[in-house]
A = this chain, B = another copy of it.
Amino acid sequence: MEELVGLREGSSGNPVALRELWSPCPRLRRGIRGGLEWLKQKLFRVGEDWYFLMTLGVLMALISYAMNFALGRVVRAHKWLYREIGDSHLLRYLSWTVYPVALVSFSSGFSQSITPFSGGSGIPELKTILSGVVLENYLDIKNFGAKVVGLSCTLATGSTLFLGKVGPFVHLSVMIAAYLGRVRTKTIGEAENKSKQNEMLVAGAAVGVATVFAAPFSGVLFCIEVMSSHFSVWDYWRGFFAATCGAFMFRLLAVFNSEQETITSLYKTSFPVDVPFDLPEIFFFVLLGAICGVASCAYLYCQRTFLAFTKTNKLISKLMATSKPLYAALAATVLASITYPPGVGRFMASRLSMREHLDTLFDNHSWALLTRNSSPPWPAEPDPQHLWWEWYHPRFTIFGTLAFFLVMKFWMLILATTIPMPAGYFLPIFIIGAAIGRLLGEALSVAFPEGIVAGGVINPIMPGGYALAGAAAFSGAVTHSISTALLAFELTGQIVHALPVLMAVLAANAIAQSCQPSFYDGTIMVKKLPYLPWIRGRPINSHRVIVEHFMRRAISTLARDAALEQVVKVLTSTDEAEYPLVESTESQLLVGIVQRAQLVQALQAEAPARASGQQRCLQDILAGGCPTEPVTLTLSPETSLHQAHNLFELLNLRSLYVTSKGRAVVYVSWVERQHTGF
């Protein structure tokens, strides 16, 4: 069409005709131009969001890599200081402890002074936001700085504090996603749209995990499992796209910085591919899953109890209220003193970084067998070739150190989670799980030193495989997710243990899910954030419960023909944020919703008219400028509990109106559904 218009202009006006003459092959050129136009439109149509998702992934990868790079330098400086400071025990102790204590108290003080939201991992709050609750300012870009600086300080303490970066990275990534979403709506000039916003946030969460672990698959799945109970395949595709961009960029930077030859996984293992495990070992893998499940229940219970204790104990809560940095410093002193290498730290491999912990635990040799006849020395420095020697002690052997590591880290991690500063708790849990698995694996390799003979070939038992399964099972049980199994494979670059690891994770989840709420749900409960309880898998008779059984009957409606005095009376006697508007006091037919704030404003503007003694009713106010919103969806009293629950989950709603024969009889919201006891 455009071309036709151009031609007609060309035949009437001279300059265009001249141009036509000058350019050869007008048809071909037109064809090419049309093709390009089509391509542009196509790209732009598909594009829109995709560009933003790509930007999100690349940005987060840059931030993640830059943080890793800077932290590597800082940690190296600390190690250098500790090494060079001389042999005096006091000096060495001070150099070991003062550094993390200073960092932690700064991290806590700085981030808390800017915003109180920046503490913790942020995932529980994000879960609440994605379920439809508005947490004011939680995703403001100004919190970004506080979280980045605080997190950097936390991570710079290395393995003394033993904390990770997944949770805060998810939060950071969602903040950027929310910001980009706002930019997008502004550039397009589109009205704010809630479902579009949520799509962006879900993708952001996936990018957060993917840029920390370079694991796009498990990043997306982990976020979905942890954050929501329903999701659309559309969100999942967008998440994949953004996560892949992020993970690729993150690993690309490592290649550019000559850290590695090519793009590979983060914690590469080298398990033999042919016979990685023998069939009877499956039993031990499932047993390991069960052990991890029980351990996770114990951990979740203790963690929640201790967190509640710090809120109720007078001394601690006073300390928390007045000077958070002091509490942080005290806790950090305890943690750093215990990990002091020449002291107790000797028995828990505290000279290794968290990355080295994982690398050594996934090692495919059996340490117990290797150290059976010869005992390796304890070098002044961890030997890069034999990092696992750190786990060995001549008197306590491998088993002693692993068990001691587990017992100590168990309560140390619980203590660390109470410090109010940005920190992730996933990686430490993953490492603890790996240590549980390693312990079982080493025990098995000693119990069956010949390995399990199958088909005439002797296959030694690999404790590394158990460490992998333990890490996936324990972290899966604590977070109530199954995708940690996939994360374990993506992290190590090998998937030979697919079935045993998956079975261990399922066993651990079966125990944990039936006994304890997940780490994130537990935190939501302790922090008293609103949440929607889980009703699937509850007794069968819950299917018979209908809305009528639990709806709130006493609601205040505003009739269009009500006198203003009546309206004011309703407004002053209740404090709802919105009121259902009905046709008339008599008919009670639901016609819309009025926001309290807007109604109050309209009433105030009306005040002079009222003073003049005129008898006016609500309808006049509404006609005079107070907007009403339509009720897009109503339930009936016969709707089942499950159906109502589904609607709340899918549409991220917090309340719905129930009508019977058109009458706005009642109202259901989250609180009511909790009262039903299902």
Contact surface of A with B, Cβ cutoff 8 Å: 42, 45-46, 48, 188, 190-191, 193, 195-196, 214, 216-217, 224-225, 228-234, 236-237, 240-241, 244, 247-248, 251-252, 255, 258, 261-265, 268, 270, 273-279, 282, 454-455, 457, 459, 482, 485-486, 489-490, 493-496, 498-500, 502-503, 506, 509-510, 514, 536-537, 539-540, 543, 583, 589-591, 630-640, 642-643, 646-647, 649-651, 659, 661-663
* A214 CB, min distance to chain B CBs, angstroms: 8
* Residues of chain B within 8 A of A650, CB atoms compared: 230, 646-647, 650
* Residues of chain B within 8 A of A457, CB atoms compared: 261
User: Which 5 pairs between the two chains have the least Cβ-Cβ distance?
Assistant: A662-B662, A630-B638, A632-B639, A234-B536, A589-B661
Interface residue from B46, B276, B643 paired with A651 (Cβ < 8 Å): B643
Asked if A231 contacts B234 (CB within 8 A), the reply is no
Asked if A490 contacts B482 (CB within 8 A), the reply is no
Asked if B496 contacts A264 (CB within 8 A), the reply is yes
* A137 CB, min distance to chain B CBs, angstroms: 26
Asked if A493 contacts B493 (CB within 8 A), the reply is no
Copies of this protein in the complex = 2
CA of A218 to CA of B490, assembled, Å:
14
Residue of B nearest to A661 (CB): B589
Asked if A248 contacts B503 (CB within 8 A), the reply is yes
CA of A647 to CA of B275, assembled, Å:
49
The 23 listed contacts between A and B (C-beta, < 8 Å) are A45-B539, A191-B543, A196-B543, A216-B498, A216-B502, A217-B498, A229-B233, A230-B233, A234-B536, A236-B482, A244-B499, A251-B499, A255-B279, A261-B457, A263-B499, A273-B494, A490-B495, A494-B495, A630-B638, A634-B634, A643-B651, A646-B650, A647-B647
Asked if B261 contacts A454 (CB within 8 A), the reply is yes
* A455 CB, min distance to chain B CBs, angstroms: 5
Whether A279 touches B265, Cβ cut-off 8 Å, given contacts A495-B494, A540-B190, is no
Residue of B nearest to A629 (CB): B638
* Residues of chain B within 8 A of A634, CB atoms compared: 633-634, 636, 659
Residue of B nearest to A189 (CB): B540
CA of A80 to CA of B158, assembled, Å:
66
* A451 CB, min distance to chain B CBs, angstroms: 12
Whether A229 touches B230, Cβ cut-off 8 Å, given contacts A190-B540, A244-B506, A493-B273, is no
Whether A233 touches B240, Cβ cut-off 8 Å, given contacts A46-B510, A514-B46, is no
Interface centre among A252, A514, A642, A662 (most CB of B within 10 A): A662
CA of A642 to CA of B214, assembled, Å:
34
* Residues of chain B within 8 A of A486, CB atoms compared: 217, 486
Asked if B631 contacts A636 (CB within 8 A), the reply is yes
Whether A230 touches B228, Cβ cut-off 8 Å, given contacts A216-B502, A264-B496, is no
Asked if B661 contacts A590 (CB within 8 A), the reply is yes
* Residues of chain B within 8 A of A45, CB atoms compared: 514, 539
Asked if A499 contacts B248 (CB within 8 A), the reply is yes
* A496 CB, min distance to chain B CBs, angstroms: 5
Residue of B nearest to A492 (CB): B495
Residue of B nearest to A498 (CB): B490
Whether A279 touches B264, Cβ cut-off 8 Å, given contacts A46-B514, A230-B230, is no
> A495-B495, A632-B643 known; 12 other A-B pairs, CB under 8 Å?
A190-B540, A214-B499, A228-B233, A229-B233, A231-B233, A255-B279, A262-B276, A265-B498, A270-B273, A493-B495, A630-B638, A662-B663
CA of A196 to CA of B642, assembled, Å:
11
CA of A105 to CA of B646, assembled, Å:
48
Residue of B nearest to A588 (CB): B662
Asked if B636 contacts A632 (CB within 8 A), the reply is yes
Residue of B nearest to A255 (CB): B279
Residue of B nearest to A258 (CB): B455
* A202 CB, min distance to chain B CBs, angstroms: 13
Residue of B nearest to A663 (CB): B662
CA of A240 to CA of B513, assembled, Å:
15
